[in-house]
Homo-oligomer: A and B are copies of this chain.
Amino acid sequence: MFWAIQNRSGLTGSGRQTQEIDMNQSNHSKHRPLKVAVVGATGAVGKTLLTCFEQRNFPIATLVPLASGRSAGSSVRFRDADVAVAEATPDSFAGVDIAFFAATGSLSKSLAPEAVARGAVVIDKSDSWRMDDQVPLVVPEINASALDDHHGIVACPNCTTIGVVMALEPIRRAAGLERVVITTLQAVSGAGLPGLEELEQQNQAWTEGRPASVSQFAAPIAHNVVPVCGDFLTVPGIDGVYSSEELKLRGETRKILALPGLDVSMTCIRVPVEVGHCATVLIETATPLAIREARRSLADFPGVRLIDDPQQAPTPREVAGSDEVWVGRVREDLSGSRIWLWEVSDNLRKGAATNAVQIAEEMMKRGLLDSRD
């Protein structure tokens, strides 16, 4: 196994090169500094988590970067030091306050209960726990109070779902929701670093006139769009198959909004964009809602950036790197009774890492991480 520990400061053998890094200073909050594990620290979401910790001054005393056996032995950069990545095992979580899981569903399924058994709170980005009745599925701006009922694991929604529900919730609060029709356009980083690498390699092949090598997606994604995200699944009583991403979007939207009967119709499409998921959303409200009121609700909602100029619309290239969900093209449907909008969010940040860190911050604020105090 190749051990890629690097010390970019040039100081070999310093204490900053150990597997765990001590940080006793934080101006983030009054909360005591925490021992924080990140499972999947070398992946696209894991790396973004580390960036979010730094940018938000998250109160970390000790960082424990973990990964599957394949990636263990490499290192990650955190607060100007290289930190070695260990293989995630049950004992990795000894003394850990919070474990962020940004890894495969199967790793989460097996290890999250082990982390909880050792006293950690798990904030999980996989799809393993989201629809579990015992697990809160949380977007803090929308349903933070669901955290109060946690049993050790809190689920972070799918990256596509988060952007969509952030755009729906302000409308729901203003006039209720009856029905939504959604088409998503999803970036390749929704499939992690392998998705990013596949797009880059296929773009290179296109330029050189070579055929595309396909492994991450159902068809070549460079210079193309592919109307499949994830695997196909059957739905009892329904003629036809749905992609796993589509069923997540529907089920998670209903759970987060606590609207189990909401009529959600959707098609999910992969597009050759590096970062930034988009959606067209057609909304039927429960009671009539003027467009100016819809715009005001969106503008006032924390975490939403409304592009209020009707002739402007956000795109993934400009939204990448932002923690906000950008909403534009808010307009009356030509039927006169529905609302169209266009939503873009950074799938690695608000769609994943930022939302996970916000969950942790909200749990601190609610005193839900104080059991070890």
Interface residues of A (CB under 8 A from B): 181, 183, 185, 203, 207, 218-220, 223-228, 232, 235, 237-242, 250, 263-265, 267, 269, 271-274, 278, 280, 282, 290-292, 310-311, 313, 315-318, 328-336, 338, 340, 342
Given known contacts A219-B315, A291-B240, is B203 in contact with A271 (CB within 8 Å)?
A: no
- What CA separation (Å) do A96 and B313 show in the bound complex? 45
| CB atoms of B227 and A329 under 8 A apart | yes
- What CA separation (Å) do A311 and B227 show in the bound complex? 11
| CB atoms of A315 and B265 under 8 A apart | no
| CB atoms of A238 and B311 under 8 A apart | no
Given known contacts A265-B338, A271-B185, is B315 in contact with A240 (CB within 8 Å)?
A: no
| CB atoms of B273 and A235 under 8 A apart | no
| CB atoms of B330 and A238 under 8 A apart | no
- What CA separation (Å) do A315 and B269 show in the bound complex? 11
Shortest C-beta distance, A321 to chain B (Å), equals: 14
Shortest C-beta distance, A265 to chain B (Å), equals: 5
Shortest C-beta distance, A308 to chain B (Å), equals: 11
Which B residues are CB-close (under 8 A) to A250?
334
| CB atoms of A185 and B315 under 8 A apart | no
Which B residues are CB-close (under 8 A) to A185?
185, 225, 269, 271
| CB atoms of B310 and A232 under 8 A apart | yes
| CB atoms of B280 and A332 under 8 A apart | no
Given known contacts A290-B239, A331-B239, A332-B238, is B340 in contact with A226 (CB within 8 Å)?
A: no
Selected from B265, B278, B311, the residue in CB contact (under 8 A) with A232 is B311
- What CA separation (Å) do A239 and B227 show in the bound complex? 31
Which B residues are CB-close (under 8 A) to A264?
334
Residue of B nearest to A294 (CB): B239
Which B residues are CB-close (under 8 A) to A317?
219-220, 223-224
- What CA separation (Å) do A226 and B280 show in the bound complex? 12
Which B residues are CB-close (under 8 A) to A237?
336
Which B residues are CB-close (under 8 A) to A203?
203, 207
- What CA separation (Å) do A133 and B95 show in the bound complex? 77
Selected from B218, B269, B328, the residue in CB contact (under 8 A) with A227 is B328
